[in-house]
Structure formats: structure tokens, C-alpha cells
Amino acid sequence: MAERSWSFSKAFRNLFTGPELITEETWDELEAALLTADFGPEVAESILDQLRADVERHRITEVKELRRILRDAIEERLAAYDPTLHLSERPAVILVVGVNGVGKTTTIGKFAKYLTAFDKKIIVGAADTFRAAAVEQLGTWAERAGVDIVKPQQQGQDPASVAFQTVQRAIDEQYDIAIIDTAGRLQTKGGLMDELGKVRRVIEKLAPVSEVLLVLDATTGQNGLAQAEAFIQHAGVTGLVLTKLDGSAKGGFVLSVQQKTGLAIKLVGQGEGIGDLTGFTPHVFAQQLVG
């Protein structure tokens, strides 16, 4: 696989191409690199403590070995969260939430395409009804992915009614999965959370909600997480989607975001193309990260 811009091979180049034996300087460089990669101070410190103990216990002297145990330590931590998507209901209803511009609509397009490869019959619902452009954009993605869409009949239609119509049609026409796009911004946070609550209640008259996926932009790191706090507190989020990892040197955010929220990353976006979405596999990710 091509080297990613966030890979350790880049962020940690000095460390892994420097002297072969571990010195005090190695630890300083490792700490700086972990912080640069946005692991966050607590996670960075805890990884360093663990590695120092391992190095001592196993009498490790080579940087090469340190790299291996670093990779294992990161994989183990990433794997503490279950990335399985729960889509066994018929239809499985997925709500996609998050602030504007993080990549919600793009993610829905990619995700719909990804699911069609498993022979799933998919419908998407444009419940971000305040912006006509958002509805159009989802329409374009639905077309690209070759899936059906329910749009509002007029601009500003109640988002809950679009969500209801989407799920109703999914039931009537035996779709496997209904994915619903929601608004990222309203006048107030309270207003937005009330709206999401209503969308959810209305859907639940017809079918349970299988997943609420919160989309986060990896390039905004810890800052983006603060912006998404209200969703985590009030929207019943069941999993995270991290987008724009291709444009980010902050691969470490992946681990810190799981630890901070207690939520698993279930999907990862690594580009603007329709094929640039994958499930989250700790082993593969740790490998990409550390090299």
C-alpha cells in the first residue's frame, strides 16, 4: 500500500532512520513524534510508560525492536473497541450525524456504494432539509452509488417527516438498509439536538435505529472533537466515522478519539473518491501508522 501522509514512516522518520540503539534521545523523539501525530498528552504518556517498562523487562536495546513493540501496543489499544457495524435489522436504519463540513454527505455516498458490493438494497434519506444544496449533493452521491433516495418535497420540510418517509419506503419496498443524512447546524445546539431527537422518535414508530454514526474530520483533531461533544452527549451515538485521514498528519487522533469518547471507530474515509472508505481494522491501521 502507498505510504499515507499520516504514516509514522513520515512523522517518525528521524526516529526510525536515526541511531540503531535506544538512548535517552530516542525517548524524547518518540514523545515529540507521538504528540505531533496527535495522540494527545495522556495517551502519549501512557504509551511511553508501557514501552519503557517493556524495554526494561525484555532488555530491548534496538530501535527496530522498539518500533515493533510500539506497533503492537497501538494495535492492542485500538482493538479494545469493537468496530462491528450492527446492521442485522430489516431494514437497518442508520442515522449519520455531525457538524457541517466534516464529510457526512460524502461518507453516505461512499458507504452506500460500499454496501451495494455486499448485495444490499440501499435507500438514502435527505433529512438535512434546510440547505437545498445539501439535498442536491446527496442526490449526486446516490446516483453515483446507484442507490435510491428520498428527498423533501419542498425546501425546509420537517426533517423528521423525510426520515419517516425514507424508513416507510424501506419497509414497504423491502430495502436492507436506510441511511439518513441529518443537518449539522441549526441556530442553537439545543435546537439541533431537539431536531435529532424528533427524527429519532419518529423513525422509531416504524423501526429501531440500528446505528447512529458520528462523523469527525481527522484534520481538526481534538478541536473537532470538542465541537462534536453535544452529539456524543445527546444523540445516542453508536460509532464514529473518521474522514480526511488522507489529508492529515494526525493518525494518532484515531486512538485518542476512541479513548476520549469510549466509542469505536467503525469507518475510515481516506479520500474524496467513492471508493475511499474502509472498515476499521486495528491490525492494518497500526501497520499503516507505524510502518
Ligand X SMILES: Nc1nc2c(ncn2[C@@H]2O[C@H](COP(=O)(O)OP(=O)(O)OP(=O)(O)O)[C@@H](O)[C@H]2O)c(=O)[nH]1
Binder of ligand X out of 33, 66, 97, 102 (CB under 6 A)? 102
Q: Minimum CB separation from ligand X for residue 108, in Å?
A: 8
63 or 123: CB nearest ligand X? 123
Strands (E), the chain: 92-97, 122-126, 148-150, 177-181, 209-217, 239-243, 265-269, 277-279
The response to whether 158 counts as a known ligand-binding position is no
The response to whether 194 counts as a known ligand-binding position is no
Q: Minimum CB separation from ligand X for residue 184, in Å?
A: 4
Binder of ligand X out of 4, 7, 75, 105 (CB under 6 A)? 105
96 or 203: CB nearest ligand X? 96
Binder of ligand X out of 272, 275, 279, 283 (CB under 6 A)? 272
Q: Minimum CB separation from ligand X for residue 78, in Å?
A: 19
62: helix, strand or coil: strand
The response to whether 245 counts as a known ligand-binding position is yes
DSSP per position, the chain: -PPPTT-HHHHTHHHHHS-SB--HHHHHHHHHHHHHTT--HHHHHHHHHHHHHHHHHTT--BHHHHHHHHHHHHHHHHTTS-------SSSEEEEEE-STTSSHHHHHHHHHHHHHTTT--EEEEE---S-HHHHHHHHHHHHHHT-EEE--SSTT--HHHHHHHHHHHHHHTT-SEEEEE--S--SSHHHHHHHHHHHHHHHHTTS-EEEEEEEEEGGGHHHHHHHTHHHHHHS---EEEEE-GGG-S-TTHHHHHHHHH---EEEEE-SSSTT-EEE--HHHHHHHHH-
Say whether residue 273 binds ligand X (CB under 6 A): no
Binder of ligand X out of 238, 261, 270, 288 (CB under 6 A)? 270
The response to whether 43 counts as a known ligand-binding position is no
Say whether residue 41 binds ligand X (CB under 6 A): no
258 or 270: CB nearest ligand X? 270
Site residues for ligand X, 207-246, by CB under 6 A, read: 243-244, 246
The response to whether 61 counts as a known ligand-binding position is no
Q: Which stretch binds ligand X (CB under 6 A): 3-11, 52-60, 94-102, 160-168?
A: 94-102
Say whether residue 248 binds ligand X (CB under 6 A): no
Nearest partner of 183 among 95, 123, 111, 98, judged by Cα? 98
- Contact partners, residue 222, CB within 8 Å, separation at least 6: 38, 40, 253, 256
Q: Minimum CB separation from ligand X for residue 90, in Å?
A: 27
The response to whether 183 counts as a known ligand-binding position is yes
Say whether residue 182 binds ligand X (CB under 6 A): no
Binder of ligand X out of 103, 125, 221, 239 (CB under 6 A)? 103
The response to whether 184 counts as a known ligand-binding position is yes
The response to whether 105 counts as a known ligand-binding position is yes
* Binding stretches for ligand X (CB under 6 A): 98, 100-106, 134, 137, 184, 243-244, 246-247, 269-272, 276
List binding-site positions for GTP.
Answer: 98-105, 181-185, 243-246
